[in-house]
Amino acid sequence: MRRLIALCVLVAIAGCAPRAERPREGFLEVPGGRVWYRIVGSGKQTPLLLLHGGPGVPSYYMNPLAKLGDERPVVFYDQLGCGRSDRPADSTLWTIDHFVNELAEVRKQLGLAKVHLLGHSWGTILAAEYLRTHPSGVESVILASPANSIPRWIVDADSLLLTMPDSTQAVIAANERAGTTQSPAYQGAMMEFYHRYVSRSQPWGPDIDSTFAGMGQTVYLSMCGPSEFTITGSLKTYEGGDALAQIRVPTLFTIGRYDEVPLATAQYYQGLVPGAKLEIFENSAHLTMQDEPDRYVEVVREFLRSVEGANRR
C-alpha cells in the first residue's frame, strides 16, 4: 500500500494525475513572498501557462483565455508585487532573473511537467529569458504583443505619440519635464493614449478595470516607468534579440492592428525565430484578448492543436 501511495505521488508530480485532483486556486511560496495562482479547466491536453504583462500588470485582463479550459488546464498567476500576490518592499526583487526563477518555481510547485507558454507584452521578455535557461517540457510559446527590444519599443512609442492631438502631446511633455507624472492632467493624457493603443474596447470591461486597480505600481515604476510611452526603469536598455534567436519550440507571435507594437516590429521579431508564425487582429490594440476575445481564443486554440497534432505524428 505504501508503495502504491508513493507511486501516485510521483505520477501527480509528473503532471499525469487526473486534472480534477489539482488544486484550483491558492498561493505558492517563492523567493520574496507568495504568488497567487488559479487553474481553470480540466481538459486532458497539455496545460497553458499564462505570463501577464507589466511588469506589475496583473492577470485579470487575460481572463478570456479561460475558455480554453474545455481542452486543457489554463494556469493564471499574478507575479510577485501585483494583483492578488504579495507586495514585498524589497526593491532588489524587481529583476528579470527574479521573475525567471519565480516562473520556474511556479511550474515546479504545480507539477507542470509539460506546458505551453503564452506571454503578453513584458511576459514575452519573461518567456524568452526563461527559454534561454533551456527548461524541459515546454512544447510551444505564444508571444503576444511582443516587447523583446525596449529601445525599439521606445522608438515605436515616440512615433505613436506623434499621432495624438497636439494638446495631449503638450500635456505629456510638460508634466514629464516637471516630474509631475502623477498629476490628473498627465494621467488623463495617458488614458487617451491607452484607449487608442492599449485597448479599443468601449467602454472598458471589468477585467481591464480590475487590472488597473490591481497594478503593482512599485514594480512597474522600477522596471518600466511612469507610463507605456515613457520608459525610465531598469528595462530601458533591454535587448532580447539573442534570446529570441535561441528559441527552438513552435512559436506564434500575435499583435493587434492598432497595437503599441507595429507590424514592422512584430515581423522583425518573427524573423529572429526559426519557423515562427504571426497573426494580426484587425480590430485590436495591445490587449488583443480583450478587444477580440472570441477570435483570439480560437487562434490560440488552433495553434496549440496544431503543435500537439505534430507532436503525435
Q: Which three cell numbers stand for residue 24?
A: 484550483
Q: How far apart are CA 263 and CA 254, in angstroms?
A: 10
Q: Which three cell numbers stand for residue 210?
A: 480590475
- Please pick, among 78, 156, 207, 259, the residue that the annotation labels catalytic: 259
Cβ atoms < 10 Å from Cβ of 309? 9
Phi then psi dihedrals of residue 41, to 5 deg: 95, 155
8 A C-beta contact, residue 187 and residue 276: no
Residue 230, helix vs strand vs coil: strand
- Please pick, among 140, 201, 286, 291, the residue that the annotation labels catalytic: 286
**102 burial class (0-12, 13-18, 19+ CB within 10 angstroms)?**
buried
Interior angle at CA 129, CA 40 and CA 63, nearest 5: 25
289 Cα distance to chain centroid = 11
How many Cα atoms within 13 Å fall on the side-chain side of residue 57?
A: 24
8 A C-beta contact, residue 169 and residue 196: no
Place of cell 490560440: 300
Q: How many residues does the chain have?
A: 313
**286 labelled catalytic:** yes
Q: How far apart are CA 99 and CA 84, in angstroms?
A: 16
DSSP code for 182: T
Place of cell 488559479: 38
Which residues are paired to 40 by β-bridges?
A: 74
**52 labelled catalytic:** no
Which helix (H) or strand (E) element contains residue 117? strand 115-120
- Please pick, among 121, 199, 222, 227, the residue that the annotation labels catalytic: 121
Residues designated as active site: 121, 259, 286
